[in-house]
Amino acid sequence: MDGDIKYEMTGIGDEPFSTSDDAYWLPDNNILVRFQNKLLRSAPPYNNLTLVKEMNYEKWGNVRISNNGQKISMYINKHIFLMDANGSNLVQVTDSNGDEAFGEFSPDDKFLLLGSDYFHAPASGNSHWFLKVIPADGKKYNMDSGPEVP
């Protein structure tokens, strides 16, 4: 916070970062990096990366970290998935005929707030998501008709 750059990461190896790559602070001061088809972790002083998980999916992203740093949510191909922060126990937690994205953890990490059923109407300006809340318990919830989904 003194204005000095402590470390600058412009890419990995000979590959520069692109606009689809992201970085996220973890509660333990590590950094989680989304780079190409990988999730990587770096600890201070941020000069070494370790593989958390290979993400060999056509579409994935919207990575979110739980407040306690133990879980990660993301969309994979239209639905929300949870996994442990070390890359294990990847499970799909939403199912529907539509798309879900942005699985944000509640402050106590017990729930996920997510966008569901995206409606895109740029000409009218009526594009929107429906917001839904599900438990962050690793079970799969039906976003179309599940009684437990508000």
User: pLDDT for 31-63, tens place per residue?
Assistant: 999 999 999 999 988 888 999 999 999 999 999
Judged on CB neighbours under 10 Å (0-12, 13-18, 19+), 49 is middle
What mean pLDDT is reported for the chain?
89
Q: Are 130 and 143 in contact (CB under 8 A)?
A: no
Note whether 64 and 82 are same-domain residues. yes
Note whether 46 and 78 are same-domain residues. no
Would you say residue 132 has pLDDT above 70?
A: yes
Please tell me the predicted confidence (pLDDT) of residue 130.
Answer: 83
- Closest to 54 (Cα-Cα) out of 68, 38, 66: 38
Please tell me the predicted confidence (pLDDT) of residue 46.
Answer: 85
Please tell me the predicted confidence (pLDDT) of residue 13.
Answer: 84
Per residue in 116-131, pLDDT tens?
877 667 777 777 778 8
Q: Are 76 and 94 in contact (CB under 8 A)?
A: no
Please tell me the predicted confidence (pLDDT) of residue 69.
Answer: 95
Tally of domains in the chain? 2
Number of Cβ atoms within 10 Å of the Cβ of 121? 9
Judged on CB neighbours under 10 Å (0-12, 13-18, 19+), 12 is middle
Note whether 75 and 138 are same-domain residues. yes
Would you say residue 99 has pLDDT above 70?
A: yes
Pair of tokens at residue 70: 């133990």
8/35 Cα distance (integer angstroms) = 16
Note whether 118 and 74 are same-domain residues. yes
Domain with 22, as residue range(s), is: 1-56
pTM over 0.85: yes
- Closest to 110 (Cα-Cα) out of 60, 64, 68, 74: 68
Domain boundary (16, 40, 56) is at: 56
Grade residue 81 by pLDDT with cuts at 50, 70 and 90: very high
